[in-house]
Amino acid sequence: MLGYIWMFMIIVSFFCSVITGNIENLAISITEGADKAIKLLLSMAGVMCLWTGIMKIADKSGLTALLAKLLSPVLCRLMPDYEKGSEALQAVAANITANFLGLGNAATPLGIKAMKEMTKHNSNDTPNNSMIMFVVLNTASMQLIPSTIAALRHAAGSEQPYSILVYIWVSSAAALIAGIISAKLFGLWRKNG
């Protein structure tokens, strides 16, 4: 998919620059882009490592486990196909907490484990409502410190890389609630229809 988008971007920029008479700018932009990318990655690196480091302390000191435990009563309401304390819901809680704390590397394997546990109790070739709810929660996940955005803002010379924090919390909470409500409604509709 991304391969096609990349190809599309390069082809389109060639033809656009021919139309707008910008071919010279285009030629410069290619080398400039490559150079810019590495500078960007370097100036993002410090902020990214700061947060993966801090969140590792949270993880190792049991904060992740505590949050996962607090989350479990909510999760068994959202995913009624699975019992509280089941392997599946434990993996789900661990994945969502990891996403929340921005432990991206840990979150994906935990999420895959959760899906595999959930499949054990689902013999159909279509996912049950709880599995869909889990994936929707992942696509609308909240992150306590959006470190990549902060790093990117810092790299671009922002005076306040974290000024967007509260807006992101509010917007992603709204997105999460919208995702939960629409998944529940679609689920009810599928059952009846």
Quick check: 192 binds other proteins (CB under 8 A)?
A: no
Q: How far is CA 23 from CA 9, 35, 77, 78, 115, in A?
A: 15, 19, 58, 54, 49
Q: Which range, of 69-77, 85-93, 133-141, touches other proteins by CB under 8 A?
A: 133-141
Quick check: 1 binds other proteins (CB under 8 A)?
A: yes
Quick check: 87 binds other proteins (CB under 8 A)?
A: no
CA neighbor of 94 nearest in space, from 77, 80, 115: 115
Q: How far is CA 41 from CA 5, 54, 136, in A?
A: 22, 20, 30
Output 76 or 161, the one with its CB closest to other proteins. 161
Q: How far apart are CA 167 and CA 34, in angstroms?
A: 32
Output 74 or 177, the one with its CB closest to other proteins. 177
CB 120 → other proteins: shortest distance, Å?
A: 10
Residue among 74, 80, 85, 182 that touches other proteins (CB under 8 A): 182
CB burial class (10 A; 0-12, 13-18, 19+) of residue 104? middle
Q: Do 88 and 117 contact (CB within 8 A), yes or no?
A: yes
Quick check: 157 binds other proteins (CB under 8 A)?
A: yes
Quick check: 193 binds other proteins (CB under 8 A)?
A: no
Q: Mask 135-154, x = binds other proteins (CB under 8 A)?
A: xx-xxxx-xxxx-xx--xx-
Q: Which range, of 54-62, 67-75, 76-84, 85-93, touches other proteins by CB under 8 A?
A: 54-62
